[in-house]
């Protein structure tokens, strides 16, 4: 029996609909505070339809557009939840309306701060263009230099390692689908 479009969804239903592992949805809840499923007794999660659309938008930006988690967080900060909800629900009119509103805001910028003619008109966010450091070869500036035998990863390296783990899990999932 199919659920109503307005019905709440469990984490397993959302994971199956979006072709994502459940642990990825739980991880995204830690990275995107905008994802707030309702939790019932025993910690069972129920996602509202707008939560599912937001997750669809996040998934599209991460997997299809090549954004990093930080890039999507920046998109959310600068454009609001409704932008990614509109992307997730496929509402092109809402995406264009938000883009027009954003363009109207940039008109008030000084000429030096205006986007140059011919630049890509994506709203904001960063694709994976930032150079990465290799694990153990350096810490962030506030952590100090790496000491031999220190045995601790910097916060940046832990985040990179976790991101690499999720990338590998996604590769494994795709390979399992092909087999």
pLDDT in tens, 132-171: 444 444 444 444 454 555 566 677 777 777 777 778 888 8
Q: What global pTM score does this model have?
A: 0.55
The whole-number pLDDT of residue 123 equals 47
The whole-number pLDDT of residue 159 equals 72
For the stretch 20-31, pLDDT in tens is 999 999 999 999
- Report d(CA 120, CA 174) in Å as an integer: 30
Give the angle 81-26-18 at the CA atoms, nearest 5°: 70
Segments in the chain forming alpha helices (H) = 11-18, 22-31, 49-59, 69-79, 81-89, 92-106, 155-178
For the stretch 76-134, pLDDT in tens is 888 888 888 888 777 777 777 777 777 776 655 555 555 555 444 444 554 444 444 44
The whole-number pLDDT of residue 14 equals 92
Query: End-to-end CA distance of the chain, in Å?
Result: 30
The whole-number pLDDT of residue 43 equals 84
The whole-number pLDDT of residue 88 equals 79
Q: How confident is the model at residue 16 (pLDDT cuts 50, 70, 90)?
A: very high
- Report d(CA 104, CA 66) in Å as an integer: 27
Average pLDDT of span 28-53 = 90
């Amino acid at each position: 029996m199919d659920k109503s479009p307005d019905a709440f969804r469990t984490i397993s239903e959302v994971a199956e609909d979006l072709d994502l592992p459940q642990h990825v949805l739980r991880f995204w809840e830690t990275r995107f505070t905008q994802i707030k499923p309702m939790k019932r007794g025993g910690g069972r999660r129920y996602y509202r339809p707008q939560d599912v659309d937001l997750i669809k938008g996040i998934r599209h930006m991460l997997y299809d557009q090549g954004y990093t988690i930080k890039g999507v967080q920046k998109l959310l900060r600068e454009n609001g939840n409704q932008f990614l909800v509109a992307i997730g629900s496929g509402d092109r009119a809402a995406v264009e309306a938000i883009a027009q509103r954003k363009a109207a805001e940039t008109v008030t910028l000084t000429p030096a701060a205006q986007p140059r003619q011919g630049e890509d008109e994506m709203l904001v966010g960063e694709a994976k263009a930032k150079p990465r450091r290799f694990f153990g070869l350096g810490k962030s500036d506030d952590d100090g230099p790496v000491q031999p035998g220190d045995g601790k990863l910097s916060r940046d390296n832990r985040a990179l390692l976790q991101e690499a783990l999720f990338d590998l899990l996604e590769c494994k999932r795709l390979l399992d689908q092909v087999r």
